[in-house]
Amino acid sequence: MAPQQQRRSRSQRLALVAATVTATAVLASGPVFAAGLGVVVVADPPAPTPAVPAPEVSGPAPSPGAAAPEPPAVPEPPAAPAVPPVPEPGTPAGPDQPAGGSAVPPGLPPVDPSAVPPAKDLPAFGAYLDYGPRGVARIAELSRWLGGADLRVGHTYLPGDLWSNIEGRPGFLDVWADWRRKKDDRMFVLNVPMAERNEAGVPDAEVRRLLRQGAAGEFDHHYRALAERLVELKVPDTVIVLGWEMNGITYTHRCGPDPAAWKQYWNRIVTAMRAVPGQKFKFDFTPTRGRDAVAWTRCYPGDDTVDIIGMDSYDQPSGITFDEQIKEPYGLQAHVDFAKARGKQISYPEWGLFRNGDNAEYMRRMLAWMDEHKPLYNTLTDYCPHGVWQCGQNPRASEIYRSVLTGRDAPEPTPKPTPEPTPKPEPTPQPTPTKPANCSPLELGDWVEHWLGGKLCVRLDWWSRDK
């Protein structure tokens, strides 16, 4: 062995002894001291930082293509609150008429709202529930009974006792206007009498005189006042059912005593109301089904002043079938044909049960008729004996009505936005152990390495550098 190699071998042995003796100092003094001696502790790599899991989001929106969650069940309401008897338009209430009925007829199973799909292309509908604020409140209650169905039509009547009421006195129409303005697709339907003392049993001679006065323009100012009131309340698109059931004998605004004067009077009213700035009214000409006292076609005032041709169609007289209601003179089919020939929309402002009691067949057929012929709107008269929600006398027809209309046009639930996933922190990269150049690891045993926190490495050239 050459002397130089002998000296280096001896130096290496001295370095080993020095490294062993100074191990404690190396550990305590940190990397600066160790580097000075040429001793490096190669530590084991630290454990990676555990990833923080993303917080769970309750009720995530379903992924595209997944079935939508089932809507919450609509609880069955208790029996409907007692409803004070409401004077029926066109039919005097009997003394034994009940004040209300059960919301769900006894003994009938509840309707599953999911069983009836929404039908956006079917007619807008509602019900006459009361003439004042209670009528507005009950729209939401009836909707709940129908599984959230969207009742887009609100319907009421102006009192026909005094001209001041026919003008829409302050306070009467406000709550209806508020309801209408809350959603753009709602429709407000207002029955408007053509004379005061409208249900006072005025004789034909007096009716004839009043119609001729109206035709001469003596009552125009009352209708201008009404139009201004509706525009002021921001419901200028109200549907005006003017002089309804004119072919009958009930109202002072009936047509029979003088059809020519009646038509001229209608035209004056429409002209007066259309002259008010801002109006967008639609005028609905609505007789009762059938001939009644006079053929309703004799009262038709002309296409220029009629926007909608309606029909009030109750299940009467006794013993009549629905097919007969369709085919009778001036019946349901004649109504549809008459409107179609004039390019007019149709409506059913009043309909419901009557002389034939709890007639489930009428209810089923009438709903199907309206779905087929698509009127602009329909409103069921919902109190006894006609109704199905506020009247407990008609459980079979009630179940038909409810099963057909439950969930209809219910607003689709707004999908919840898919939450952005919380980014997971990147794991701390594991340091790759490196061995310094010219550094030889020392095998000191497991317990020493555990105590030192890693293997000990000694530079081979530190002695020569010091030289």
pLDDT at 385 over 90: yes
Which pLDDT score, from 0 to 100, does residue 456 have? 59
Task: Calculate what percentage of the chain has a pLDDT beyond 90.
Answer: 61
pLDDT at 369 over 80: yes
Question: For the residues 119-134, what does the mean pLDDT come to?
Answer: 88
Q: Where does the pLDDT of residue 123 fall: very low under 50, low under 70, confident under 90, or very high at 90 and above? A: confident
Question: For the residues 285-311, what does the mean pLDDT come to?
Answer: 98
pLDDT in tens, 58-114: 333 333 333 333 333 333 333 333 333 333 433 333 333 333 343 444 444 454 544
The beta strands (E) that lie in 409-461 are given as 439-442, 454-459
Helices (runs of H) and strands (runs of E) counted in the chain = 14, 12
Please answer whether residues 269 and 223 qualify as being in contact, where contact means their C-beta atoms are separated by less than 8 angstroms. Answer: yes
Amino acid at the residue 159 = P
The C-alpha atoms of residue 291 and residue 334 are separated, in whole angstroms, by: 11
Amino acid at the residue 452 = L
Residue 156 bridge partners (DSSP): 190
Which pLDDT score, from 0 to 100, does residue 435 have? 53
Start-to-end C-alpha separation, the chain: 22
Please answer whether residues 89 and 64 qualify as being in contact, where contact means their C-beta atoms are separated by less than 8 angstroms. Answer: no
Which pLDDT score, from 0 to 100, does residue 430 have? 59
Name the more confident of 116 and 279. 279
Cis peptide bond prior to 385, omega within 30° of 0: yes
pLDDT at 157 over 70: yes
Question: For the residues 392-408, what does the mean pLDDT come to?
Answer: 97
Question: For the residues 180-206, what does the mean pLDDT come to?
Answer: 98
Q: What is the mean pLDDT of the chain?
A: 77
Which pLDDT score, from 0 to 100, does residue 99 have? 34
In angstroms, the Cα distances linking 301 to 270, 279, 308, 345 are: 11, 21, 12, 16
Q: Where does the pLDDT of residue 464 fall: very low under 50, low under 70, confident under 90, or very high at 90 and above? A: very low
Which pLDDT score, from 0 to 100, does residue 409 have? 75
Q: Where does the pLDDT of residue 327 fall: very low under 50, low under 70, confident under 90, or very high at 90 and above? A: very high
pLDDT in tens, 46-71: 333 333 333 332 333 333 333 333 33
Which pLDDT score, from 0 to 100, does residue 412 have? 60
